[in-house]
Amino acid sequence: MLARRFVLAALTRLPEGRLTVLEGGTTVAFGPGGAPSAAVTVHDERFWTTALRGGTVGLGQAYADGWFDADDVADLCRLLVSGFEPVRRRLDRLADALAPARELVPSRSRGREADRGHVAAHYDLSNDFFSLMLDPTMAYSCALFDGTATSLEAAQRAKFDRLCDLLDLTERDHLLEIGTGWGGFAVHAASTRGCRVTTTTVSANQHEHARKRVAELDLEDRVEVVDADYRDLTGTYDKVVSIEMIEAVDWRDHARYFSTLAERLRPGGRAALQAIVIDDRSYERAKRNTDFIKAAIFPGGCLPSISSIVRSARDAGLSTLAVHRIGHHYPETLLHWQRNLELNRSEVLRLGFDERFLRTWHFYLQYCIGGFEARYIDGVHVVLEKG
């Protein structure tokens, strides 16, 4: 089979680690040895064509369909990141070279309705499903395992406290949160720092959950949950926070996103972003390409880079005060989510999700772990100020 021969030939160039391929009683090993190490068992020969033609999209589809298994998907992804880095770097340089010409072609924002649809496709899957995967804070973002956190919930609260500290939140502040999630940070900030919070989301399920949570905690005098696109917000706030929401903002809308932060902040006001970022060198290529995450998990997603954040913030009149890397905490966060899904497997199936869905999400969480461990992607806290 031509696709098999092509893929196996490419694997002979692995610069590190060990990849073992098992198919039909035959075992072949690639790489010099050591870590990372993964073993792949091929169950269906369609795996080879799908993986070759579809890249990470095809790889994820083949895994979801059960055409192959891996003893460690995260290490498999790390091996592929390192093994194909020379090719990726050439494509990165080509994308950078073409960028000036592409900027001459007008590009349109995809619009509010499209954004709502993309958000609904992921976040409105089921509040019950996410409650089985996440901890009681319902935080769906990187936690901080700072040495004192003994559980995922404690690590998420440590993250909330870090953001509050970066913002220097006090009871005198009125905080705007762009991207409510399920309301965890809003109620934490209001209850621990005494500030007022206005938080906005375009997810129907998250909006409903967050409003109930605010009412249950008797915080309605301090927390307002609104159903509004960030571009339609009005008013002026002392502080702004946005936790892993920018990844849902198309790169064509970054200028509008950061100008919204600037317009909503009072002079001297501070904003804190938590973001998943891609390697600066890969930003131009990745923002236009569809990978597994965009195809199967987050339609319309776009990872910014640190440079693109700083540049867009500066263009909007915001100064970057600090950038703190937190991506080394993400693999542990993701492992907690994966374990929760495994422990609650029967409950997930009872909600109406099937085995293919569970395999897709297993691949998604492991794929992300591999990306963070390979440092192809990272997590950051960025502190901005309206000067």
Per-residue pLDDT, averaged over 104-131, amounts to 82
For residues 48 and 175, state if they share a domain: no
pTM as predicted = 0.94
Whether 372 is in a domain gets the answer yes
What pLDDT, on the 0 to 100 scale, is given for residue 13? 86
Question: Is 368 a known active-site residue?
Answer: yes
Residue that wins the pLDDT comparison between 79 and 261: 261
Amino acid at 148: T
Whether 51 is in a domain gets the answer yes
How many Å apart are CA 375 and CA 367, to the nearest integer?
Answer: 12
Q: Which helix (H) or strand (E) holds 82?
A: helix 73-83
For residues 258 and 201, state if they share a domain: yes
Q: Would you say how long the chain is, in residues? A: 387
What pLDDT, on the 0 to 100 scale, is given for residue 8? 85
Tokens of 129: 């499903």
Provide the 10 A C-beta neighbour count for residue 220: 11
Whether 91 is in a domain gets the answer no
Predicted confidence (pLDDT) at residue 85 exceeds the cutoff of 80? no
Residue 97 pLDDT level (bands cut at 50, 70, 90)? confident
Range of lowest pLDDT (16-25, 134-143, 302-311, 321-330): 16-25
For residues 120 and 46, state if they share a domain: no
How many Å apart are CA 358 and CA 354, to the nearest integer?
Answer: 7
What pLDDT, on the 0 to 100 scale, is given for residue 309? 98
Closest CA to 179 of 225, 222, 223: 225
Per-residue pLDDT, averaged over 297-319, amounts to 96
Predicted confidence (pLDDT) at residue 89 exceeds the cutoff of 80? no
The tens digit of pLDDT for each residue in 27-63 reads: 999 889 888 999 999 999 999 998 888 889 999 999 9
Predicted confidence (pLDDT) at residue 101 exceeds the cutoff of 70? no
Whether 158 is in a domain gets the answer yes
How many separate helices (H) and strands (E) can be counted in the chain?
16, 11
Predicted confidence (pLDDT) at residue 317 exceeds the cutoff of 90? yes
Percentage of the chain modeled with pLDDT above 90: 78
Cβ-count burial of 229 within 10 angstroms (0-12 exposed, 13-18 middle, 19+ buried)? middle
Closest CA to 185 of 219, 151, 221: 219
What pLDDT, on the 0 to 100 scale, is given for residue 57? 94
Q: Is the dihedral of CA 41, 35, 87, 364 positive or negative?
A: positive
- Asked which of 83, 102, 123 is the last residue of a domain, the reply is 83
- Asked which of 68, 83, 98 is the last residue of a domain, the reply is 83
> How many domains does one find in the chain?
2
Beta strands in the chain (DSSP E): 17-23, 26-33, 37-42, 68-70, 174-178, 196-201, 223-227, 237-243, 265-278, 318-325, 377-386
What pLDDT, on the 0 to 100 scale, is given for residue 107? 63
For residues 331 and 370, state if they share a domain: yes
- Asked which of 67, 83, 99 is the last residue of a domain, the reply is 83
How many Å apart are CA 246 and CA 10, to the nearest integer?
Answer: 35
Residue 160 pLDDT level (bands cut at 50, 70, 90)? very high
For residue 282, what is the domain's CATH number? 3.40.50.150
For residues 70 and 142, state if they share a domain: no
Percentage of the chain modeled with pLDDT above 70: 95
For residues 203 and 263, state if they share a domain: yes
For residue 29, what is the domain's CATH number? 3.30.1050
For residues 121 and 78, state if they share a domain: no
Backbone angles phi, psi at 202, to 5 degrees: -110, 10
Q: Which helix (H) or strand (E) holds 318?
A: strand 318-325
Residue 76 pLDDT level (bands cut at 50, 70, 90)? very high
**Helix, strand, coil in percent for the chain, rounding step 5:** 50, 20, 25
For residues 56 and 120, state if they share a domain: no
Closest CA to 377 of 287, 312, 296, 282: 282
How many Å apart are CA 71 and CA 343, to the nearest integer?
Answer: 18
For residues 173 and 285, state if they share a domain: yes
Whether 149 is in a domain gets the answer yes
For residues 322 and 211, state if they share a domain: yes
How many Å apart are CA 153 and CA 146, to the nearest integer?
Answer: 13
Structural domain that includes position 294: 112-386
Tokens of 18: 């060990």
Range of lowest pLDDT (43-52, 158-167, 242-251): 43-52
For residues 16 and 145, state if they share a domain: no
What pLDDT, on the 0 to 100 scale, is given for residue 112? 82
Cis peptide bond upstream of 86, omega within 30: no
Predicted confidence (pLDDT) at residue 348 exceeds the cutoff of 70? yes
Place of tokens 């409950």: 347
What pLDDT, on the 0 to 100 scale, is given for residue 102? 66
Residue 116 pLDDT level (bands cut at 50, 70, 90)? confident
Tokens of 133: 């995967």
For residues 161 and 289, state if they share a domain: yes
Place of tokens 């999630």: 181
Whether 29 is in a domain gets the answer yes
Whether 50 is in a domain gets the answer yes
Q: Walk across the sheet containing 68-70 and list its strands.
A: 26-33, 17-23, 37-42, 68-70
Whether 107 is in a domain gets the answer no
- Candidate list 77, 142, 195, 368, residue with the active-site label: 368
